[in-house]
Amino acid sequence: MKIISRRKLPLRWGTVTLIAIMMIVSALFWHVPSSMASGRSIIPGHLIPAVKQLTPLQVSSSNRQLQLSIALNLRNSAGLDALIKAQNDPSSALYHQYLTPQQFTEMFSPTMASVNKVVSYLRSQGLQVSSISPNQTLIDASGSVTAVSRAFAISIADYHLDRRSVYAPTTEPSVPSDLAGLILNVGGLDNVAHYRPLAHQTPTLGPGDGYTPTELRTAYDMNSLISRANGGGQTVALFELDGYNPSDVNTYLRHYNLGAARYSNVLVDGATTSPGEGASEVVLDMEIVSAIAPGATQKIYIGPNSVTGVNDTYNRIVTDNRARVASTSWGSCEPDLGNSELSTLDNIFRQGAAQGQSIFAASGDTGAYDCLSGSGSNNLAVDSPADDPYVVGVGGTSLQLGNGGSYGSETGWNDTIFNIFGGGGGYSSFFSKPSYQRGPGVDSNRMRHVPDVSADADTLPGYSAYCTTVVAGCSSGSAGWTSYGGTSCAAPLWAGVATDTNSYLVSRGKGVLGNINSTLYRFFNTSQSFRAYHDVTTGNNNFYNAGPGYDLATGIGTPDAWNFARDAAGTS
């Protein structure tokens, strides 16, 4: 596997800065919680909003086995934020000076002494520790409800939530005071969140019933770019929580003359490639990236659909650092996760940003009401991980073609019949608005705005795809041709555009995009040689309206890929 070359951080700069950062933030990092007076230190953020108002049914079975993902606090968090800001400031000497995973661990990860202290405590409480992540931020452990409850001084109860049984802690966990400040999150104390694929299938009669690679390329002005740079030399990481049938992807590649297969698997936490109910999502992601960036190598990261599996799989993408671009079409509504788990994911994505990685995430398919497909709440909510400031949230539009398959027009995606489906968007209830998120139409609300960008997500006509896994809702044999809609399509499309752009930049002797969030808004906020986006000004996502400039239905807009790449080449 080819690793994209990167400019190394000067050793002298890293050493001096590390010392300065440690001096500045040490007082904050080692602040002693008031709860230490009682001999234990509370770890906040584990009470799930979706169950806070519910009455417990009973205490969970003492024999139930819990798989835990224990996240540790980073060192020098403020210094990390300052570094990422400088890396994205064209006037800074540190602009695009990205870290290696080893440098990140040395500068910002918890020390091995801290890790060993936590591991020792877990084992003393009868918990089994199975792994420690390479960046020393995640500890995987397991144990019975009895052992976990004793270790963290909690009670875990069963609840009835939206026609399903779930369990969750009734109080915040705590640890002895000598561990204060070390643990950020004890993931796995609840099973409220369940990541779901964000794709919707439409039965078709053949491959021509959804938008083909040629139609997508023409509509979004990709042909000139792909003829010069088709993703060759680049790697895309795809985050997946299910297996797939490789012959489905190969059939798609052959039918559309997209060249040889260029994918391989990375299996996390004992996951397999055996296809299940989510297999259609996996092949859809692979096929769309192949359509847009056929020359790129794909690394398919597959993990279990659990808190531990999700955290470890994202962390593996970051610590491997093989891909400049990653895409995920799996999400959970933000209120179902809990604040400590959102912080855990944020630390993973912050490392990715510091290393120059861009992660595109589908923003959800139930419009501004993301929990409709999660805990069942009809309150306004956004999707995780598209809510994270270090992730590019990708919303949805309805694309209409013009003459000769050219770009015609777009509206914000929503289904006008049932008013259920639509591109995810709105305000995060947890993350503050990042500094880069400004410009025409970006309002004064202080919370993170979702989405950042958009692309076609309408199920009619959808994207042409091939899938034969019956348990995933597909048909076997030649009837496997179908079409899909949803922001699951829009996210890998954008990942493909970014990958082609990186390939183009390298061909011109320039550095790659790196962490793309700030660049997206800089192209939106400042005058560029070419117009990089289509501004979608009509339609809605069942609550927020599209309009001129930024909006909570479609974000900045949709890509004009060739213009975007040329702007990047002019400013890189």
Task: Name residue 31's amino acid.
Answer: H
| pLDDT score for 428 | 98
Tell me which residue of 280, 448, 287 sits closest to 363, measured CA to CA. 448
Burial class (CB in 10 A: 0-12, 13-18, 19+), 509: exposed
Contacts of 507 (CB under 8 A, 6+ apart): 228, 229
Beta strand ranges found along 4-146 (DSSP E): 40-42, 58-59, 65-72, 128-132, 138-144
Pairing status of strand 481-485 against strand 463-466: antiparallel
Whether CATH 3.40.50.970 fits 196-571 = no
Burial class (CB in 10 A: 0-12, 13-18, 19+), 353: buried
CA distances from 469 to 277, 280, 282, 476 (A): 8, 7, 11, 7
Q: What is the DSSP string of 179-199?
A: GTTTEEEEETS------EE--
What is the C-alpha to C-alpha distance for residues 536 and 467, in angstroms, rounded to an integer?
Answer: 31
For the chain, the structural domain boundaries read 13-187, 196-571
Residues 362/523, Cβ–Cβ less than 8 Å: no
| pLDDT score for 52 | 84
3-state secondary structure of 47: coil
What is the C-alpha to C-alpha distance for residues 232 and 219, in angstroms, rounded to an integer?
Answer: 22
Those residues of the chain that have pLDDT short of 50 are 1-37
Residues 155/167, Cβ–Cβ less than 8 Å: no
For residue 450, the cross-strand partners are 426
| pLDDT score for 476 | 83
What is the C-alpha to C-alpha distance for residues 128 and 68, in angstroms, rounded to an integer?
Answer: 10
- Is the whole model's pTM more than 0.75, yes or no? yes
Pairing status of strand 297-302 against strand 263-267: parallel
Task: Name residue 97's amino acid.
Answer: Q
